[in-house]
Structure 1
Amino acid sequence: MATLTSTFTQHRRMLTRAAALAAVVLLILWLAPILGGQRSYRLVQSLVTGLLVGGIYALIALGIVIINKASGVFNFAHGWLMLLGGLLFFSFFSTANVSPAAAVGLPLIAGAMVFSTNGWRSLAARRSLIGVGGVTLVGAALLLLPGNDWQFIRAIAGAVIGGVLVGMVVERFAIRPLIGQPLFAMVLMTLAASELLHGVTQLTWGSVEIPLQVFTGLPNLGIPAQIRFGEDLFERAVNIRADLLVAFLLALAAFAIFVAFFQFTSAGLSMRATAENQKLAQSVGLRVRTILAIAWAIAALLATAAGVLQGGASSLSLNMPFLALRAFPAVLLGGLESVGGALVGGIVIGLVQEMSNLLFPGTEAGTELAPYLVLMVVLVIRPDGLFGQKRIERI
């Protein structure tokens, strides 16, 4: 056994290349009937759909990566944050007039949570009170906008405020008390938080599937429901769903904004330092509690955006949180601490899913099995993911 292990270690790179070459050859042989036959449009259709679906997966994966970068915790409650954010958007979107109590109370509670994160003793915290108060007033004013003409603005404001509030509540009462404790305890707490959010969601909105009609107005903007191309290249045109395309573009825009946040702000660097060692980061002056609160607020905001986009492309139901389970392979594939890896991993998983559905029509191979098979192969070759950082511990 030792000799076999030594041989594998010495020739690992050669064996890996041989396995990759064999996989490519088998894939080409498998796709040959489609590439050379009368069904080539289906291949292009699957590739385009996989790319668009992968954008949503990448946005989900980014939220999970943010929590991991800040605290080293793998957040299993992210799927329920998605659904809750989408349902909050639906509630404000479908209501012509929001009650003054809700319109004023929700921003006030969220503002109080944000301000209490820093406290009031430092001068910077006192100055931040002005900013928090201004944002609170703007949020309340947006929620009080009457009529259906303002339903998008009202729904966006309500979903953002509510989603950030839920994220900060989870951090304050579930994660913060465990600072300095083993990470496994925090991971278990995210599982408990997911069950709590599950119960709250089901008690408040029920278990009925809810259509979120946010993309129904695209034809009024001159965008057809189906975008067709390739009539001259293939025997049939390739159809792209306009709602899925818009969701993909919005997901990429949100992704770019938060990547810039991590690259060009001190808060992003502070999150990386906190992920390395919370106690050490606190000892050098970093406010670990504030950093964790910011990370959870951003992750909840990303989850809300993903929930709204996915709900608009399909619907809101209790099955949506399981979509985050399909994004887990994207996180691990790209690397637990890699923001760019989340984008690559999400797109790869989306492509693999749609290609598997093409090869195995009428089965669940694409959505349930194929992403995890790809993940297993990649982790055998690169245990830290495609863009993950290798950790070296000195003894």
Structure 2
Amino acid sequence: MEFGFLGQLMINGIIVGTLYGVVAMCFVLIYKASQVVNFAQGEFLLIGAWVCWSFLVHFQMPFIVGFLFTLAFMALFGILIQVVILRPLIGEPVISVIMVTIGLSIIMQAAMKWAFGVFAQPFPQIFSSQTFNLFGLKVQTAYGLSLIVSVLIMLGFGYFFKFTRMGLAMRATAFNQQVAQSLGISIKQVFALSWAISAMVSAVAGVVIAMVNGVSSSLSAFGIKVFPAVILGGLDSIIGAIFGGLIVGLLENGAQYVDATYLGWGNMISVAPFYVLIIILMLKPYGLFGTKDIERV
């Protein structure tokens, strides 16, 4: 029975870890493009979930149509945030921009509570069966689908950065903005696109979580839970974001097994990733795959 419980938790860890990895890639994408850590990332999940919920409940749209409308809305929303609020801050100290993203986080949370209330709302049922069996273990259908979608998004990121013109432009911008601009790359377009992609991909994760747990303001906390994965893998590494997400997902569920079976403390699932994060950063301050900066002193 214990091994069955452990297997269930490990499957959940892998599935949730891929979601962590996808959202962590959004952190990395914005950081690589603009050297900004977006502390409003969790609110992108929340807004995406509420917008999709509204399309399905208030406008009675089929799920696929409502989901596509949500992605389009979030892309425009991400571009709007970057153009109207963050673009005027180009050239300002990084800490100023970070403080603006924290302010955006607070404003977005308050706006969602004002628009949709403070109580959780169940997401409309999408699948005829809410669970399926995987090697004798029950898995949420939404999480199973999210695993496939997350892998496709990761492959899409890889193709985008390696083979598309805009992807190469974003890589050049991440390497050196001045050099990229001298090559004719529009830095403003790169920044706007990075925020649009980040908002869309975050919305995908928000919708998946909402399918399982409903829509509530607690969704925004997912961004903070993902942050250890970002730092663990390396703040400027897409591959690191993927591995960091998987490690944190497995750590959480492994800690839950140890806690439930042996310790009985009740909070290990929340704190274990941060303990490991501290240990790894003491050994590798730039994360597992992060680029080490070398400065002349």
Structure-1-length-normalised TM-score? 0.70
Are 2:91 and 1:180 aligned?
yes
Q: Distance in 2 between matches of 1:61 and 1:336?
A: 9
Q: CA deviation at 1:276?
A: 4.3
Higher relative contact order (CA 8 A, sep 6+): 2
Q: Secondary structure of the residue that 1:389 maps to in structure 2?
A: coil
Q: CA deviation at 1:180?
A: 1.5
Q: Distance in 2 between matches of 1:252 and 1:366?
A: 28
C-alpha contact 1:180 1:279 (8 A) present in aligned 2: no
Q: Distance in 1 between matches of 2:152 and 2:82?
A: 26
Q: Distance in 2 between matches of 1:82 and 1:152?
A: 17
Give the letter aligned to residue 70 of structure 2. A
Q: Secondary structure of the residue that 1:268 maps to in structure 2?
A: helix
Taking a change above 3 Å as real, the CA distance of residues 364 and 289 of structure 1, as seen in their structure-2 partners, is: farther
Bigger mean CA offset, 339-348 vs 262-271: 262-271
Q: CA deviation at 1:195?
A: 1.3
Are 2:65 and 1:163 aligned?
no
Taking a change above 3 Å as real, the CA distance of residues 227 and 60 of structure 1, as seen in their structure-2 partners, is: same
Taking a change above 3 Å as real, the CA distance of residues 280 and 195 of structure 1, as seen in their structure-2 partners, is: farther
Which residue, 59, 66, 73 being the options, matches 2:36? 73
Q: CA deviation at 1:216?
A: 3.1
Q: Aligned residue for 2:46? A: 83
Q: Distance in 2 between matches of 1:283 and 1:180?
A: 17
Give the letter aligned to residue 245 of structure 2. G
Alignment of 1:220-299 (within 5 A): 225-230=131-136, 238-299=137-198
RMSD of aligned residue pairs (Cα, Å): 1.9
Alignment of 1:284-363 (within 5 A): 284-361=183-260, 363=265
Q: Distance in 2 between matches of 1:363 and 1:88?
A: 37
C-alpha contact 2:63 2:126 (8 A) present in aligned 1: no
* CA deviations over 1:235-284 (Å, ceiling 9, x no partner): xxx33333322222222222221221112123223223333444554344
C-alpha contact 1:160 1:304 (8 A) present in aligned 2: yes
Q: Distance in 1 between matches of 2:12 and 2:246?
A: 10
Structure 1, unmatched stretches of 5+, are 1-37, 97-147, 231-237
Q: Distance in 2 between matches of 1:285 and 1:174?
A: 24
Structure 2, unmatched stretches of 5+, are none
Taking a change above 3 Å as real, the CA distance of residues 46 and 180 of structure 1, as seen in their structure-2 partners, is: same
* CA deviations over 1:131-189 (Å, ceiling 9, x no partner): xxxxxxxxxxxxxxxxx6x5123212320121112111110122101111221111111
C-alpha contact 2:56 2:124 (8 A) present in aligned 1: no
C-alpha contact 1:55 1:343 (8 A) present in aligned 2: yes
Give the letter aligned to residue 77 of structure 1. A
Q: Secondary structure of the residue that 2:294 maps to in structure 1?
A: coil
Q: Distance in 1 between matches of 2:34 and 2:266?
A: 34
Q: CA deviation at 1:59?
A: 1.2
C-alpha contact 2:161 2:171 (8 A) present in aligned 1: no
Q: Secondary structure of the residue that 1:360 maps to in structure 2?
A: helix
Give the letter aligned to residue 376 of structure 1. I
Q: CA deviation at 1:215?
A: 3.9
C-alpha contact 1:72 1:276 (8 A) present in aligned 2: no
Give the letter aligned to residue 131 of structure 2. A
Are 2:94 and 1:201 aligned?
no
C-alpha contact 1:47 1:355 (8 A) present in aligned 2: yes
- Greater Rg by CA: 1
Alignment of 1:42-81 (within 5 A): 42-81=5-44
C-alpha contact 1:71 1:275 (8 A) present in aligned 2: yes
Q: Distance in 1 between matches of 2:53 and 2:38?
A: 24
C-alpha contact 1:89 1:156 (8 A) present in aligned 2: yes
Are 2:279 and 1:377 aligned?
yes
C-alpha contact 2:127 2:141 (8 A) present in aligned 1: no
Q: Secondary structure of the residue that 1:320 maps to in structure 2?
A: helix
Q: Distance in 1 between matches of 2:201 and 2:294?
A: 31
Give the letter aligned to residue 273 of structure 2. P
Structure-2-length-normalised TM-score? 0.92
Q: CA deviation at 1:228?
A: 5.0
Q: Aligned residue for 2:292? A: 390
C-alpha contact 1:353 1:371 (8 A) present in aligned 2: yes
Poorly superposed stretches of 4+, deviation over 6 Å = none
Q: Distance in 2 between matches of 1:319 and 1:391?
A: 36
Q: Distance in 2 between matches of 1:246 and 1:188?
A: 36
Q: CA deviation at 1:60?
A: 1.1
Which residue, 344, 364, 367 being the options, matches 2:269? 367
Give the letter aligned to residue 53 of structure 1. V
